[in-house]
A and B are shown apart, each in its own frame.
Chain A
């Protein structure tokens, strides 16, 4: 029996060795395979139970925070401002993933960035929540004014600081309430998500930087840049003929002015009146296809602005289509045909003029702070693209100011102090051949003698009527309200004021 009992011991030892080897496989050697299995949601659950930083506006309004919950995740993500900042914060949901700042700055919010890790040695003895709190460059007051001014109409408002690219307002209708997607009742969250996705208006998409529309006459700033830099256009010459139609070639439909009127003249008058025939001619005969393409791409067309939010799209300049087709180039030069731009891109067009030709990288994150309110990361302003020479920018700045004083954008300085200089450009982009159009305004404002501190773009979509007055009548008052609010000094709302 002795031998058998010994062999039994050997057999059981072998069994346990096999167990040990198998546990090695599971925990170490093939653990990554298991961790990366698409059915493995443990990492998501873990992040869900982990403390997560708050997101607040630069004027101290909390727009996303984690509060204690009674369920297995222990923490519930909450968006106190509901739809107001939905397209900026995005959401952080269990099955639906994440969007917006919650997505781009996930590591910072969860406290996983290098800056935190370096500090951890000293933190070993202190009970601290190592999360990052994000301060947005956006202002709650400007954002609120933008939403109120849109008054429920579909459209977008983008306001930013041309000097450093900080976004001050980024709002579009329709919006949505991110709280319904972050709901821990997953059935309800999935149902809410389906409802939002099945809505033909797509409320979860930020129209400010994810949707393109024909920019209409606001694009004439790009055309003017092409004319000045690649076609020898100056303030005094050429003087375009006063006419009601312009034909770029023997074929194709001629370009007409709104309401069939006649117009012409030098750069300032034609920009003030938004003269279609003159700008079509400038694009075709002065800038030409190559010059127009060069300028459009210098403004960033055909390339998505590197904003720190996910899912941004590029704006379109039809380089190929206009290369040897003057009628199409003529259409494109007045922001029609296949030209399409996001409101963000059009705000950057105004910003380029305001900032001496340089477009700064647009961004919504201002700084990241730790739980002690120490700044651990700050967005470094950088130039995204140079749209034009400083001289061109100065000429166009004067021209856009004259559009507000003497042209179609007179409503744009209604809400600012007397010492504020405002420049702008209206746009009305006809939708197909219907009698409705997108009403646009782009512009900038700042104290006299200083570089403008705000640039803005507004679009109100699908408005009744097609005349050059539409943009000035519908969109300009919104732009005026936003510029006016953005020029006031920000006030601190919450107790967690930033410096």
Chain B
């Protein structure tokens, strides 16, 4: 395989994606009667300049990495930005989210380049697995600390230090992915030993400790921070990695049983969990059961029904009557204005990213890299799934952001770092293969 051509592919895809985003921006601005959108200069800088800057960095820092991930992420990020601008302008009193999001995009791409520069070899991360584990746990529980923890919209997932507000959970999941990958690859032999319990093969109880700890931490996060999404994501990440590492499906069974028990307990004990489930209304519910009270999921459903096949058109819908539409519910705005086709395009973009991520995981030479790539892909794909599933009423709503699309600085930064790590692993694979190839050819010449 000619890995050098990957950058050309990337550049071509980036140009295509940027054209789409710029077109979408112009369309979204049209209904406002302004012949030329006033902020088109800065906008072009953001949606064309930033991906190109990332591309240039890729050429220098990870020249042989996968060529699809960056264009897909840029496309989703650009699409999300167009919607955030469009939603902000539609409000009677704009909240200034568009300006902030452009700052987050610059910082995000900066973090992307920085990660590529600092992490020159993904395998070296394995050494810092316990540090990563500690950092991850601290970040995860940080919002619980008195003084710096903040409750916003009912969830205690924010930390404010000085002027900076951020969601440490977004970064915790990356640190924990590194930790799980390192820890599980180290213990996989041990953890893979099953004992027969009658007809069932179950993990030896004395190795169940890590599972129980992960489960307990997930419960703590759910109960004390009221953050169902992060809790679910964190536990899923652990479960997927222990299953992939040990190749024992029994862990999945145990994990799902534990999860079900925890979920039932939470449903019985905590009103905020019960409320989420009741507002969801079951797998086939189309509309909320709560009398004539219209919830945000109902508003989202009305918006998407308005979209139909082709959508109402960019800037032509009325998505602003969905609460928190810029962050958690941005997918509903996309479906309303771009219709089933736009909705499917977003799903396909995420699926292509998942595909690329898992392909990297399959090709990685070291076990650590395989697990890390699997974990990072799971984080991306599963987080996108649970928030979109909540918005379209496939699952109860769990408030997490839609990666690359939603408004939010912490989320965007963390996902750009995630992307950089995946690409770093991809570059490692390619480099090693071409080294091997060169060595092989050298041997032949010598021989």
Contacts and interface: CB of A to CB of B under 8 A. Distances in A.
A8 B378 CA distance: 8
Interface string A25-50: 11110111111011110100110010
Contacts, number: 131
B100 to A, nearest CB: 22
A272 B328 CA distance: 81
Contact of A27 (B304, B320, B378, B381): B304
Contacts of B240: 8
Given A19-B347, A19-B388, A26-B392, A31 B305 contact: yes
Contacts of A28: 308-309, 340
Contacts of B309: 27-28
A184 to B, nearest CB: 11
A40 B286 CA distance: 13
B8 interface: no
A38 B293 CA distance: 11
B245 A1 contact: yes
Interface range, A side? 35 or more
A49 B90 CA distance: 12
Nearest to B310: A27
B385 A34 contact: no
Interface stretch (A9-17, A113-121, A442-450): A9-17
Tell me which of B343, B370, B371 has the highest count of chain A C-beta atoms within 10 A of its own C-beta: B343
Nearest to B355: A9
Given A8-B374, A37-B302, A25 B245 contact: no
A24 interface: yes
A27 B307 contact: yes
A406 to B, nearest CB: 66
A22 interface: yes
B243 A4 contact: yes
B287 A22 contact: no
Contacts of B306: 31, 35, 42
Given A9-B358, A26-B305, A45 B378 contact: no
B286 A25 contact: yes
Given A12-B385, A27-B308, A34-B305, A5 B244 contact: yes
Contact of A3 (B92, B247, B308, B371): B247
Contacts of B308: 27-28, 31
Interface string A186-212: 000000000000000000000000000
Nearest to A36: B305
Contacts of B339: 27
Contact of B382 (A12, A33, A49, A70): A12
B298 interface: yes
A5 B305 CA distance: 36
Contacts of A37: 287, 302
A1 to B, nearest CB: 5
B58 interface: no
Nearest to A40: B302
Interface string B315-326: 000101100000
Nearest to B249: A4
A34 B393 CA distance: 13
A9 B307 CA distance: 30
Contacts of B247: 1, 3-4
B389 interface: yes
Given A5-B362, A27-B343, A34-B302, A45 B318 contact: yes
Interface in B362-401: 362, 367, 370-371, 374, 378, 381-382, 385, 388-389, 392-394
A323 interface: no
Contacts of A22: 389, 392-394
A24 B347 CA distance: 13
Interface in A26-83: 26-28, 30-35, 37-40, 42, 45-46, 49, 70-72
Contacts of A40: 302, 305
Which of the four size classes fits the interface of chain B?
Answer: 35 or more
Interface in B294-308: 294, 298, 301-308
Interface string A322-347: 00000000000000000000000000
A5 B392 contact: no
B189 interface: no
B84 to A, nearest CB: 18
A42 B303 contact: yes
A410 B362 CA distance: 105
B415 to A, nearest CB: 17
A321 interface: no
B329 interface: no
Contacts of B393: 22, 26
A18 interface: yes
A16 B355 CA distance: 12
A22 B335 CA distance: 12
B344 interface: yes
Given A2-B362, A23-B392, A72-B92, A34 B370 contact: no
A26 B335 CA distance: 10
Interface in B25-48: none
B381 A5 contact: no
Given A16-B385, A23-B392, A5 B358 contact: yes
Contacts of A31: 304-306, 308
A4 B251 CA distance: 12
B423 to A, nearest CB: 18
Contact of B304 (A18, A23, A70, A72): A23
A379 interface: no
Given A12-B381, A22-B392, A37-B287, A42 B302 contact: yes
A136 B219 CA distance: 69
A9 B340 contact: no
Nearest to B344: A20
B175 to A, nearest CB: 21
A27 B340 contact: yes
A38 B298 CA distance: 12
B19 interface: no
B304 A39 contact: no
Nearest to A3: B247
A39 B292 contact: yes
A41 to B, nearest CB: 8
A35 B335 CA distance: 15
Contact of B340 (A24, A32, A34): A24
Given A19-B385, A19-B394, A28-B309, A5 B344 contact: no
A42 B294 CA distance: 12
A1 B90 CA distance: 49
A30 B286 contact: yes
A79 to B, nearest CB: 24
B191 interface: no
Interface in B164-210: none
Interface string A221-261: 00000000000000000000000000000000000000000
B429 interface: no
Contacts of B307: 27
A32 B286 CA distance: 11
Nearest to B240: A8
17 contacts: A1-B367, A5-B361, A5-B370, A8-B240, A8-B358, A12-B378, A19-B394, A22-B389, A23-B392, A26-B392, A31-B304, A31-B306, A34-B287, A34-B301, A39-B294, A39-B298, A42-B303
Closest 5 CB pairs of A and B: A34-B305, A31-B305, A4-B244, A26-B304, A27-B340
Interface of B: 90, 92, 240, 243-245, 247, 286-287, 292, 294, 298, 301-309, 318, 320-321, 335, 339-340, 343-344, 347, 350-351, 354-355, 358, 361-362, 367, 370-371, 374, 378, 381-382, 385, 388-389, 392-394
Given A19-B347, A72-B320, 18 more contacts: A4-B247, A9-B355, A12-B381, A15-B389, A16-B350, A19-B388, A19-B392, A22-B393, A22-B394, A25-B286, A27-B308, A27-B339, A28-B309, A30-B286, A31-B305, A34-B302, A35-B302, A37-B287
Interface of A: 1-6, 8-9, 12-13, 15-16, 18-20, 22-28, 30-35, 37-40, 42, 45-46, 49, 70-72
